[in-house]
Amino acid sequence: MRNRGKVFLCGAGPGDPKLITVKAMELLKDCDVVLYDRLISEDIINQIPAQAEKIYVGRKVGDPTSHQDNTNIQMVRLAKQGKKVLRLKGGDPFIFGRGGEEAEFLFQNGVQFEIIPGISSAIAAAAYAGIPLTHRQYASSLAIVTGHEDGNKAESIVKWDRLANAVDTIVILMGIESLERICYSLINAGMSTNTEIAIIESATLKTQRVISGNLMNILRKAEDSRIKPPAIIIIGKVVTLCRKIAWFGK
């Protein structure tokens, strides 16, 4: 008899439980097992049916990277038992969510899978802060980069020296711990110290906070405000528009 097990690599959205997709919620109610990350909200986790198995596979900063190997093994093991497995990831699985790596592993082990996109925090944080990432007057190009790369890389793949003059808006995920290095890398590459920058902490949640400044003073402002992850960094002229169209919390 053919194995009916399958894995669904699914984005849960940026935090607000109302921003999860209809398909993701349908899978949540119907799967045998849910493997979920650290940033999945309690409101979403609480909607997992009692009969479904819940397995936490999240990782905090400083935890061993071997957790990803364990997650991969669990997905394959459960699927080969014939189970319907929901791999629930914060944001979108293909935007710095390691969804591509997990899909490769499933393919290599002969496991069926589907990819269900979610609203990335890169997009949601900007919307909830009132910052349009593109704008006809200010920004016709956009780059989304990570501020936290694989520690096993010999050198950074993010070319900050080129990025500084390549696009109008830069969105950085997982960059708070590297904020000083990022700012000075962009300044050294020729970006003006007066370039507008905003940081959105806990985007889309009731605890959301937004601070703004420029490349020269944002580090001090972030330290004074005690900004902590998860937070999104947005750099570019579009940041100025939040003074007009910021709506969340008003």
SS (H, E, C) 114-176: EEECCCCHHHHHHHHHCCCCCECCCECCEEEEECCCCCCCCCCCCCHHHHCCCCCEEEEECCH
Identity at 177, one-letter amino acid code? E
Phi/psi of residue 238, nearest 5 degrees: -60, -20
Q: Side by side, which strands form the sheet with 209-214?
A: 142-146, 169-173, 231-235, 196-201, 209-214
Nearest CA to 144 out of 118, 128, 161, 126 is that of 126
Domain limit, last residue, from 84, 116, 148:
116
Domain limit, last residue, from 116, 132, 152:
116
In this structure, are 136 and 30 located in the same domain? no
Report, as an integer, the average pLDDT of 101-119. Answer: 98
CA angle, corner 146, sides to 140 and 150, nearest 5?
150
Whether the per-residue pLDDT at 76 is higher than 90: the answer is yes
In this structure, are 168 and 237 located in the same domain? yes
Q: Quick check: 127 and 133 in contact, CB under 8 A?
A: no
User: Could you give the number of structural domains in the chain?
Assistant: 2
Q: What is the pLDDT of residue 249?
A: 82
As a whole number of angstroms, the distance between CA 115 and CA 119 comes to 13
Domain limit, last residue, from 116, 132, 149:
116
In this structure, are 130 and 237 located in the same domain? yes
Q: What is the pLDDT of residue 133?
A: 98
In this structure, are 14 and 129 located in the same domain? no
Q: Quick check: 97 and 91 in contact, CB under 8 A?
A: yes
To 10 degrees, what angle do helices 67-80 and 99-108 make?
Answer: 50
The whole-model pTM stands at 0.91
7-11, 87-91, 131-135, 151-155: which range is least confident on average?
A: 151-155
**pLDDT band at 150; cut points 50, 70, 90:** low
- Beta strands 112-116 and 231-235 are unpaired
**pLDDT band at 51; cut points 50, 70, 90:** very high
Domain that holds residue 219: 121-245
1 within a domain of the structure (yes/no): no
User: CATH number of the domain that 64 lies in?
Assistant: 3.40.1010.10
In this structure, are 107 and 16 located in the same domain? yes
130 within a domain of the structure (yes/no): yes
71 within a domain of the structure (yes/no): yes
**pLDDT band at 232; cut points 50, 70, 90:** very high
In this structure, are 205 and 126 located in the same domain? yes
> How many other CB atoms are found less than 10 A from the CB of residue 134?
14
Give the contacts of 3 (CB within 8 A, at least 6 positions apart): 79, 80, 82
